[in-house]
Amino acid sequence: MEILENNELIIARREVNFDSIRLSRKMPEITEVNRNIQIVFHPFFAVTYTRARMGKYRQGGCFRQDSNERICAKGIFKLAVFKNGYSNFMAYILATAAFWVLFLLLVPGFERPRYYPTLLFSALLALVADLCGVVFDQWAYYGPVVGTISLWSDLGIAPAESGLFIYFFPGSANWFIKICYFIVWSVSNAAGEWFFVWVGWIGYDHWNPIRATIFYIFYWSAVWAQEYWYNATGRLKGR
């Protein structure tokens, strides 16, 4: 296996012929690939990466062609080769820290245990949704990941954000305001997700912002239903 190295990309290949290779500074691109190829775009963990197909390389490791041939690329731990891997890692850390700081500042200490059911439920829900999205080739993370999913998103960002969703929920408002609340949170999350796609931290395979918005409507509805049924905080229907 030969390793070709660039400041932002490692390409591991076995007896593969390239007609042309073009590497951009921000997002590498490979065109006119003849045979099977393995793409590596992960600086922190050695993990099975993402779906790849013959054809034109698209963000982070996916090939595009009509064929459904699958090629699994495996990550190689080589931090020095990657310049954008550190920004991926720091983005998830900062986002996780920001949501948890907001949650801890806004929710009084004596009330926080009441949010534990929501925090646990949302983490499990996000984990299951993430697994389904990756398994069914809806999206892919470009790092840092564990087993191709982002635990920073599932166990870090999602619980804290769900706690804030319940904390700010307008329980005493009319249904129009409540529906608008769901829509605002869903659109905001889809927009944030699209930003991560735009900067190259997440990749859409069969996913798009419209599907993301619809997904988040169902996600927040599930978080709301869990809290409404369990009524731990009393913020949705009183205690």
Q: Could you tell me whether strands 62-64 and 139-141 are parallel, antiparallel, or unpaired per DSSP bridges?
A: unpaired
Under 8 Å between Cβ of 227 and 166: yes
Per-residue confidence (pLDDT) for residue 90, from 0 to 100:
80
Which residue from 133, 137, 148 is spatially nearest to 205, judged by alpha carbons? 137
Q: Where are the beta strands (DSSP E) in 127-235?
A: 139-141, 202-204
User: How many beta carbons lie within 10 A of that of residue 209, not counting itself?
Assistant: 14
Question: Domain segments of the chain: what residues?
Answer: 2-79, 84-230
Mean pLDDT by 10 residues, the chain (239 residues): 36 32 33 35 31 32 34 28 52 92 96 96 96 87 74 94 97 93 97 88 88 97 96 81
Q: What is the pLDDT of residue 19?
A: 31
DSSP string for 85-104 = HHHHHHHHHHHHHHHHHHHH
Nearest by Cα to 64 from 43, 24, 27, 37:
37
pLDDT of residue 86: 54
Residue 147 has a pLDDT of: 66
Are the beta carbons of 73 and 40 closer than 8 angstroms?
Answer: yes
pLDDT of residue 239: 55
pLDDT at 205: 83
- Residue 171 has a CB neighbour count (10 Å cut-off) of 14
Tokens of 197: 């796609």
**Distant-in-sequence, close-in-space partners of 123: CB < 8 Å, separation ≥ 6:** 154, 155, 158, 159
pLDDT at res. 62: 35
Peptide bond into 144 cis (omega under 30): yes
SS3 173: coil
